[in-house]
Amino acid sequence: MTQLQIVLLYLASIALRIPRIKERWIAPLLRGPEWFFDVAVAPDFLRGPGAAILRNYRWWLFIPWGIEGLTLVALWLKGHLSAANILMTVTVITLFTRFNYYAARIVTENRTRHFEHPEARQPTSNVALSLEPRTLSAYTDWRVEAGIILALSAAALWLAFLPATQDPAIERRLLSLMVIDVYAQGGLLLIKSGVIRSGGAAPVDNVEQYLAWRESLRRFTTGICDLVRLLFSLKPLLVVSLIVGGSARLAAIIGFGILSMVAVGLEWRSRLAYLNVASRTRPAKFPLLPAAQKARGPVGFWPSLPVLLLRTANGYALNLASTQVGIAGLYSAGFASLWMWLVR
């Protein structure tokens, strides 16, 4: 890749991240002047102590950008500023940005609670839950599943009947890519089913709106999961086309480019729809569970509670005894074994 192409690639990665940056920038103010994130505050809060809290929160959001900038400068100085290294840096920083946002949000909400509206301090004791069963099939779009199967089958058939190269090493790599892609599909499905399982009670005085918001968040997240699965399933086909070269290469680049743009547009549209519901929903405060009252630190072990994250006095604690943690551990171990088997 030329220097110009690398710069363009990086600029494209920034452009893709702009909507998310904007969303996090305005997240505390989403519900209007009487709310700061999920904390009820006085309408003039931002003219008082809220201004400094908001400023600190926004500065916090820049931490990943600072790390990214320093990493890229270091790579440039060492002469390793390749497209692969930029993509790797952007991927890792994107993941870190998410955790950084959660940390910033929890700390900011805890700071804001000192100025919480007195009436809102009391948690609701009357909660409601939906009796609608949530199953994977209810959140499955069979067109997406058909698309994934079609894309993976097409790549497999291409590999089997029309060898892209005469080099067995490259053939083996392509096969490895296929295997990893199928394994990744399984992982994304596990994430999707975890999202479907995640729920929560609603306050009785606002049950319909609150549950509609939870459902909207669930639909949005599972939709993104499907979109990522679909793009992932096209990757082997794209790589095979790139290796074959000629018109197949050009068609694959144009096709994948158009699909990526459509995916970004769809993601942004569904995000706006979700934010619209979220901005209209009044947050609720629920009482802490007995286990959470004793929780110390960000992790804990509660085998009897079927939850991944337990809300505590200072934020959330990861339940190491939850099924999801066990599955994630097994999946990671499986991935590591598969990787070692494929690269040996």
Residues that bind another protein (CB under 8 A): 125-134, 197-202, 204, 207, 211, 287, 289, 304-307, 310-311
Integer Cα distance of 314 and 38 in angstroms:
14
DSSP state of 309: E
Full strand arrangement of the beta sheet holding 309-312: 299-300, 315-319, 309-312
**Among residues 33 and 199, whose Cβ is nearest to another protein?**
199
**Among residues 32 and 290, whose Cβ is nearest to another protein?**
290
CB 124 → another protein: shortest distance, Å? 8
Within 8 A by CB and 6+ apart from 224, the residues are: 267, 270
**Among residues 168 and 290, whose Cβ is nearest to another protein?**
290
Helix (H, G, I), strand (E, B) or coil at 36: strand
**Among residues 29 and 289, whose Cβ is nearest to another protein?**
289
Angle at 290 between CA 288 and CA 291, to 5 degrees: 100
- Sign of the four-CA dihedral 312, 317, 322, 324: positive
Angle at 17 between CA 12 and CA 23, to 5 degrees: 150
**Among residues 64 and 203, whose Cβ is nearest to another protein?**
203
- Which residue type does 324 have? Q
**Among residues 265 and 306, whose Cβ is nearest to another protein?**
306
CB 287 → another protein: shortest distance, Å? 6
The CA–CA distances, whole Å, from 302 to 191, 219, 278, 291, 307 equal 21, 28, 30, 8, 9
CB 302 → another protein: shortest distance, Å? 9
**Among residues 211 and 239, whose Cβ is nearest to another protein?**
211
The CA–CA distances, whole Å, from 82 to 2, 4, 9, 91, 238 equal 9, 12, 11, 14, 20
- Which residue type does 232 have? F
**Among residues 67 and 127, whose Cβ is nearest to another protein?**
127
Rg (the chain; Cα; Å): 23
CB 267 → another protein: shortest distance, Å? 27
Integer Cα distance of 83 and 67 in angstroms:
18
Integer Cα distance of 75 and 78 in angstroms:
5
**Residue 160 near residue 178, CB atoms below 8 Å:** no
Both tokens of residue 340?
């070692």
Integer Cα distance of 226 and 222 in angstroms:
6
CB 211 → another protein: shortest distance, Å? 8
> Among residues 67, 66, 65, which one has the least CA distance to residue 20?
65
> Among residues 12, 342, 2, which one has the least CA distance to residue 177?
342
CB 145 → another protein: shortest distance, Å? 22
CB 136 → another protein: shortest distance, Å? 12
**Among residues 225 and 307, whose Cβ is nearest to another protein?**
307
CB 218 → another protein: shortest distance, Å? 12
CB 21 → another protein: shortest distance, Å? 32
